[in-house]
Amino acid sequence: MSDPIILLLFLVLLSSAEGAPLRQSFYSESCPGAETTVRDVVRRAMAREARAAASVMRLQFHDCFVNGCDGSVLLDETPEMAGEKAALSNINSLRSFEVVDEIKDALEMSCPGIVSCADILIMAARDAVFLSGGPKWEVKLGREDSLTASQEDSNGIMPSPRTNATSLIALFTKFNLSVQDLVALSGTHSIGQGRCFSIVFRLYNQSGSGLPDPAMDPQYWAELSRLCPLGGDEEVTGGLDATPQRFDNQYFKDLVRGRGFLNSDQTLTSLPETRKYVEIFSKNEKRFFEALVEGMIKLGDLQSGKPGEIRRNCRVVNGFSDDQLVKTK
């Protein structure tokens, strides 16, 4: 996707915000237990697998950047539609769709046809952060679910683990997100795991040099090379920071020391404008949390302005039957 098209997408997202206002406590009358239900299911998912917190949280990013926060990332592929789940940045990477299914099933039992899948992603991401030790904030709700998904748009927008800081700044700017937002939102990598697939080039052939990434701490390289040997299993995972189950500012402390797992993380120390915030957040967790909340709210404000619906099943638009789709776990 060319830059002018992405810019046009941003303008559509921005201009549509007034047409579909979001607000706090949106379900206070129509489904008063909605936020509690979401949090309870996320808590149970984390009890089964700690990694679920990061996986659920990540879904908001991959949804909102592609045509706004509309639940399109949750749609399964159909013969007529190439879904976003198979996009380059998502395939064999996004997970915990079954947690969203569990939340939706619970909400449909108590409040059928009321709570959108798009709003579920926003609430679940907030709860995943909070239940992992991070900040808590009030989310704005009232989104509708998309009627389609676009693998092409996802491929054209979502950054890869190899993306550098300059490209990341350019991308976030097009969505009216600042450098501070970029660095703070990158800090969601405070929790979770990354695959060897995403870092083998850093370990053995950075920029085609045949050498490791020079920005990487040598001791950290030794640790990662044991985890991800050349020619080894690229589906093996490692923590994105030294405390991958605790939402804190350790991620930024690691970046300062050259111990960022992904290239798209460590690159934040390569430019003065991004390194400034890395250093601030590494020293002041409260500042990080405040900036994160601001960035998450701005990210959640992205909307497409296109007609939507409240899906009964987050994987399919209303009116489709399960046998028309191939489910992605």
User: What residues are labeled active site?
Assistant: 62
Cα 321 to Cα 85, 99, 112, 313, distances in angstroms: 19, 20, 18, 10
Answer yes or no: is 127 a known binding residue.
no
Binding site annotation covers 70? yes
- Whether residue 192 contacts residue 96, with contact meaning beta carbons closer than 8 Å, is answered with no
- According to the annotation, is 218 in a ligand binding site? no
Token reading at 162:
């190899």
Buried (b) or exposed (e) across 109-118, using 16+ Cβ within 10 A? Answer: eebeeebbbb
- Residues forming beta bridges with residue 81, ordered by sequence position: 78
**Which residue type does 25 have?**
S
> 323 a known binding residue?
no
- Does residue 159 have a known ligand-binding role? yes
Ligand-binding site membership of 21 (annotated): no
Q: Is 133 annotated in some ligand binding site?
A: no
Give CA angle at 133 (31, 29), nearest 5°: 10
Task: Extract the tokens encoding 159.
Answer: 């950054």
248 is in an annotated binding site: yes
* 68 carries a ligand binding annotation: yes
Q: Are 244 and 222 in contact (CB under 8 A)?
A: no
Burial class (CB in 10 A: 0-12, 13-18, 19+), 142: middle
72 is in an annotated binding site: yes
- Per the annotation, where are the binding residues? 63, 66, 68, 70, 72, 84, 159, 189, 241, 243, 248
- Per the annotation, where are the binding residues for heme b? 189
- Per the annotation, where are the binding residues for Ca(2+)? 63, 66, 68, 70, 72, 84, 241, 243, 248
- Per the annotation, where are the binding residues for substrate? 159
